[in-house]
Amino acid sequence: MKLFLKDYVLPYWKHILLLAMFIVLQVFLQMQVLNETHAVLNSGVAAQDMDFIAAAGIKMLALTLVYGLAIVIVSYLSAYLSASVTCDVRRDLFKHIMSFSQKDFSRFGGSTLMTRLTADTTRIQIFMLNALRNALLVPVVIVAIVIATAMINVTLCAILVVAFAVTITFMVVRSRQSMPMFNEVQQELDTLNTLVKEKAEGARTIRAFGRQRYETERFAELNEEYRIDSQNAALKICYLTPLALIIMNLAVLLIYYVGSVELQERIISISDMILFFQYVTYFISCLAIVPFIVTTLPKTIVSTARLEEVLYCEPSVTNDPKGVMPEAEGDADIVFENVSFGYEGAAKDAVSDVTVRMGRGKTTAIIGATGSGKSTLVQMIPRFFDPKSGRVTFHGADLRDLDVGDLRDRVSYASQRTMILEDTVYANVSMGSGVSREQAEEACRLTMFSEALDVMPDGLDTVMARGGMNVSGGQKQRLSLARAICKDADVYVFDDCFSALDAKTERAVRANIRERLKGKTVVMVAQKINTIRDADSIVVMDKGRVVMQGTHDELMESCQIYREIYATQSYSEGE
């Protein structure tokens, strides 16, 4: 909470100071109006001086107009501050999330990050809008009223102060007790969002297996648990407002009784008694704000802690360049030296003591069983992960010593999981890199996505559906390949990007890509030997380790695992 206030609230200290000044002015004007009422009773009504009453009325009208203007300014400043702080938080939160490595992103999960970026920031905005306008008002009113009532009658003032102290103490205690419950409710909301996201993305699979009723009942069960826990958390604090009003009204009854006794004994005058109750009425009207602040404060503290957890999370992949990007010289582009990496919470490393050399201008392929660490290995090239031990070098320079932005400018990566933006085909291919439409069309032709492009109503300007739902799986993969080869880079990484293509299309696309990327460093992950048998070097992986590296013929002669893969695939193809 302290870091959040320091980094996002304190920068607006000038606006907060100005807001506080107008709040003090607002309270001062209200007190002046009440004092004028007292003066009218003492000097106007008692002496039947109509001129004094008229002059006092004009003065009270002027004070009221200025008071209304002060309220408008306070409302504007509080709205400006709450919106500005929330805007800054969302901006930095999104920017920080974009700097996360895949490991960091997996640590939180997409659904909880979405909840924090939207629901938690909105809760802070609503709280600040009310707190800045009212939380600053309450202390000023309390101090002013206590001083004013003490000058009238110390006994009656003491009753008011004691009642207020009891109310605030009880509120604070109950508010602290409710915080763990609200934290649990927010975690359950994350779970609900994750469930909705999973089921929305997997709707086809759910329908295919006839699991709609099961998933509906499962969601209803979790939703009911969320309702019950939310209700229990709210019950912890829902009675604070009526309890506060009951205590203060009992205090008013006691003030009435004690005041009437002192009035009979002429300790206090009738005009002072009326003024005292006007002060009490103003005090209670402002005090009604306190329960709202106290009841929403635990939720806001929980939301702030959740935002701080993301905002101040140190990315596992840091950008601390110690050197400049080297030029392409020699025959060694990328070298893995005794590299090991393990996912958080995993029983063993996904990649263990891997040493691989990938030559410049060569095609290096990686093959192995599912879960052998192929994708994990190649994702270290654009620094989606950093190795736990060992190092990855680019022309002799450790990737961790290079600027991440410069490195990724030199690497083009086609993901195993195809990502399609809800935008035009041209935007999906160019990815904002500034390539011309002619270059985009050429890339689509080379990957044979042009077959789909030719029947689209607006060609490159056709808007893709969310997740590429208006094209087939193979067409999505070809679009992803077009995106990768359209970028001018030194290193091209294809992470199992040909799996959805039929054999004929795959051969044609691979031939086109091979011709297009001649002289470039190509790293290719594949499951099928036919996809990579023409590679200059093939790396065979098993259980996170490199078994052997060589050409297809060398591996067929010396590598048992590679021969087994080949035998299995040859049998399945009827050879």
Give pLDDT, residue 326.
65
155 and 22 belong to one structural domain = yes
Residue 385 tokens, joined? 């992960």
Strands annotated E in 174-297: none
Gyration radius of the chain over CA positions: 35
> Would 377 be classed as within a structural domain?
yes
Confidence (pLDDT) at 329 = 53
Same domain (yes/no): 295, 151: yes
Alpha carbon dihedral 294, 299, 304, 305, in 10-degree steps, equals 110
Alpha carbons 531 and 367: distance in angstroms, whole number:
10
Angstrom distance (rounded) from CA 456 to CA 283: 69
> What are the DSSP E strand ranges found in 227-308?
none
Strand pairing of 389-394 and 537-542? unpaired
Does residue 451 form part of some domain? no
In angstroms, the CA 413 to CA 378 distance is 9
pLDDT block averages, 10 residues each, the chain of length 575 = 83 89 87 76 65 78 88 89 91 86 76 81 85 78 86 86 84 75 79 79 79 86 87 76 80 85 80 81 76 74 85 79 62 81 81 88 88 88 88 87 86 85 86 82 89 84 80 86 88 87 86 88 88 88 90 90 84 48
Residue 498: which of 523, 524, 534, 471 has the closest Cα?
524
CA–CA distance, 81 with 88 (Å, rounded to integer):
11
Of 374, 382, 410, residue with least CA distance to 497: 374
Neighbouring CB atoms inside 10 A of 13's CB total 9
For residues 6 and 3, give the distance between their C-alpha atoms in angstroms, rounded to a whole number: 5
Position 331 scores a pLDDT of: 46
3-state class of 490 per DSSP?
coil
Q: Are 297 and 126 in contact (CB under 8 A)?
A: no
Under DSSP, is residue 338 helix (H, G, I), strand (E, B) or coil? strand
The answer as to whether 245 is a domain residue is: yes
Which tokens is 175 given?
């508010």
Predicted TM-score (pTM) of the model is 0.69
Q: Answer yes or no: do 126 and 258 share one domain.
A: yes
**Domain-located, residue 499:** no
Burial class of residue 169 (count of CB atoms within 10 Å of its CB; 0-12, 13-18, 19+): exposed
Residue 423's nearest CA partner among 477, 461, 459 is 461
Q: How many CA atoms lie within 13 A of 297 on its CB side?
A: 20
DSSP letter at 146?
H
In angstroms, rounded to a whole number, what is the distance separating the alpha carbons of residues 376 and 399? 16
| Beta strand pairing call for 545-550 and 363-368 | unpaired
Confirm whether 243 is domain-assigned: yes
The reply to whether 253 and 365 lie within a common domain is no
**Residues 277 and 338 placed together within one structural domain of the fold:** no
Angle at 382 between CA 375 and CA 497, to 5 degrees: 40
Q: Residue 339 forms beta bridges with which residues?
A: 354
Residue 482 · residue 443 · CB < 8 Å:
yes
Q: State the residue for tokens 């090239």.
A: 381
| Ramachandran area for residue 337 (φ above 0: left; ψ -120 to 50: alpha; else beta) | beta
The SS3 assignment for 422 reads: coil
CA dihedral 120, 122, 126, 128 (to 10 degrees): 70
Do 305 and 339 sit in the same domain of this protein? no
* Rounded-to-integer distance, Cα 4 and Cα 99, Å: 19
Q: Are residues 212 and 75 in the same domain?
A: yes
Residue 418 resides in a domain: no
| Residue 326 domain-assigned (yes or no) | no
Q: The CATH number of the domain where 361 resides is what?
A: 3.40.50.300
Q: How many other C-beta atoms lie within 10 A of the C-beta of residue 470?
A: 15
Q: Are residues 154 and 260 in the same domain?
A: yes
Distance CA 435, CA 426 (A): 9
Work out the number of other CB atoms within 10 angstroms of the CB of residue 307. 22
DSSP state of 424: B
Question: Residue 244: how many CA atoms within 13 Å on its side-chain side?
Answer: 27
Instruction: Indicate whether 246 and 289 sit together in one domain.
Output: yes
Q: Residue 170 and residue 178: Cα distance in Å, rounded?
A: 13
| Number of structural domains in the chain | 2
Residue with tokens 């103003």: 282
Domain that holds residue 301: 2-311
**How much is the pLDDT for 572?**
45
Q: Which residues contact 140 (CB under 8 A, 6 or more apart)?
A: 23, 24, 27
CATH number of the domain that residue 199 is part of: 1.20.1560.10
549 φ, ψ to 5°? -130, 135
Which residue, 296, 311, 326, sits at the end of a domain?
311
DSSP string, 19-43: HHHHHHHHHHHHHHHHHHHHHIIII
Contact 258, 159 (CB under 8 A): yes
DSSP state of 178: H
Cα–Cα distance for residue pair 530/293, rounded to 1 Å: 67
Do both 7 and 70 map to the same domain? yes
CB 310 within 8 Å of CB 94:
no
Q: Is residue 86 in some structural domain?
A: yes
- Specify whether 240 is located in the same domain as 389: no
Is there a single domain that holds both residue 284 and residue 398? no
